[in-house]
Amino acid sequence: MPLVNLSVLLRAAEEGGYAIGGFNIQNLEMLQAVARAAAEEGSPVVLQFNPANIRYIGMEYAAALGLVAARLARVPVAVHLDHGADFAQAAAAVRAGFTSLMYDGTPFPLDQNIAVTQRVCELAHAVGVAVEGELGQMGGVEEGVFVAEGLGTMTDPDEAVRYAAETGVDALAVAVGNQHGTSVERLDMERLSAIRAAVGLPIVIHGGSGLPDEVIREAVQRGVRKFNVATQLNQGFLEGFLRVAHERPGETNPRAPLEAGRDGVVAAVRAKMRVFGSSGRA
Ligand SMILES: [Zn+2]
């Protein structure tokens, strides 16, 4: 039971009126931290790896890490490829054992985005794997991920209807003022509701680190069912790691700073789960 398809988590979130966190994993300590936070909060969770994480860890290692965490967990876990770059990477993730994929076709014209996303859905759905698609172009900064100039291009509700119908995606990531890795004070809530009403799919917001708690809560009320969080995990890890590394300049074993980094991530993830409303829902 603990390893699930993302759609299972999204359906439960839909029924319960909350959102799931998709937490980006860079190393073993961050993986353990997210798993521990999920256990302590009693929260379902998405362990996810973007192309930069995959380049660093390796596809097979990433899948193995996620799958072990799911096997040991008592809460439902999806192992997700974040910002999959192309069809080949999606296929490699499926073969490695991921239970959920994002394909990010936003750098390409709409027709091309739809065509590749449709093929990814066909492949994934044939083997019980869920797909998150994206429409619109987000700004901000994320290593290894295409980002638009300036504020980017917001998702158009009419285009979203066509995209959802022609691709068959299980969830839709949107650009409504959210930015990767950057703090944003508000989202275009009217647009968010219009997209949600038009497509009827669970909505995904990337750039969850930089959003105020009250904005997150309102977005959940309007149908956001998954938030991606990366920057806050990186900050939590580095704060703990660097603090201990500086406190102990003569230290010859990396375990103490790594452990402090891990603790920093646990705190960041637990706080997010409470705002998303996923605590106690496992
Ligand atoms: Zn993203």
Residue 234 banded pLDDT, cuts 50, 70, 90: very high
Identify whether 282 is part of a domain.
Answer: no
What's the rounded mean pLDDT across residues 23-41? 98
What integer pLDDT is reported at residue 140 of this predicted model?
Answer: 79
Q: What is the CATH number of the domain that holds 152?
A: 3.20.20.70
Identify whether 139 is part of a domain.
Answer: yes
79 pLDDT exceeds 70? yes
Q: pLDDT for 184-223, tens place per residue?
A: 899 999 999 999 999 999 999 999 898 999 999 999 999 9
183 pLDDT exceeds 90? no
Q: pLDDT for 49-70, tens place per residue?
A: 999 999 999 999 999 999 999 9
Identify whether 281 is part of a domain.
Answer: no
Identify whether 1 is part of a domain.
Answer: no
- How many Å lie between the centroid of ligand 1 and the Cα of residue 231? 11
142 pLDDT exceeds 80? no
Strand-pairing partners, residue 81, are 49, 101
Identify whether 11 is part of a domain.
Answer: yes
Identify whether 202 is part of a domain.
Answer: yes
CB atoms within 10 A of CB 109: 9
Residue 10 banded pLDDT, cuts 50, 70, 90: very high
Identify whether 50 is part of a domain.
Answer: yes
8 pLDDT exceeds 60? yes
Identify whether 32 is part of a domain.
Answer: yes
In this structure, which residues have their CB less than 5 angstroms from ion ligand 1?
A: 206
Q: Which residues of 87-106 are buried (b: 16+ CB within 10 A; e: fewer)?
A: eebbbbbbebbbbbbbbbbb
Strand pairing class (203-205; 224-229): parallel
Domains: count for the chain: 1
Boundaries of domain holding 153:
6-276
- How many Å lie between the centroid of ligand 1 and the Cα of residue 249? 36
143 pLDDT exceeds 80? no
What integer pLDDT is reported at residue 148 of this predicted model?
Answer: 72
- How many Å lie between the centroid of ligand 1 and the Cα of residue 40? 26
What integer pLDDT is reported at residue 1 of this predicted model?
Answer: 55
What's the rounded mean pLDDT across residues 33-40? 98
Q: What percent of the chain has pLDDT over 90?
A: 89
What integer pLDDT is reported at residue 141 of this predicted model?
Answer: 75
Beta-sheet strand order (sheet of 137-140)? 152-153, 137-140, 179-180
- How many Å lie between the centroid of ligand 1 and the Cα of residue 112? 19
Residue 112 banded pLDDT, cuts 50, 70, 90: very high
- How many Å lie between the centroid of ligand 1 and the Cα of residue 54? 14
Q: pLDDT for 85-96, tens place per residue?
A: 999 999 999 999
- How many Å lie between the centroid of ligand 1 and the Cα of residue 58? 19
40 pLDDT exceeds 90? yes
- How many Å lie between the centroid of ligand 1 and the Cα of residue 263? 24
- How many Å lie between the centroid of ligand 1 and the Cα of residue 206? 5
Asked about 82 being catalytic, the answer comes back as yes
Active-site option among 82, 104, 156, 170 = 82
Q: What is the pTM of this model?
A: 0.96
Residue 139 banded pLDDT, cuts 50, 70, 90: confident
- How many Å lie between the centroid of ligand 1 and the Cα of residue 180? 6
* 236 contacts: CB under 8 Å, gap ≥ 6: 33, 261, 264, 265, 266, 267, 268, 269
**Residue that has been written with the tokens 């509700």 in this structure:** 157
151 pLDDT exceeds 90? no
Rounded mean pLDDT of the chain?
95
What's the rounded mean pLDDT across residues 236-245? 97
**Residue that has been written with the tokens 């909505």 in this structure:** 203
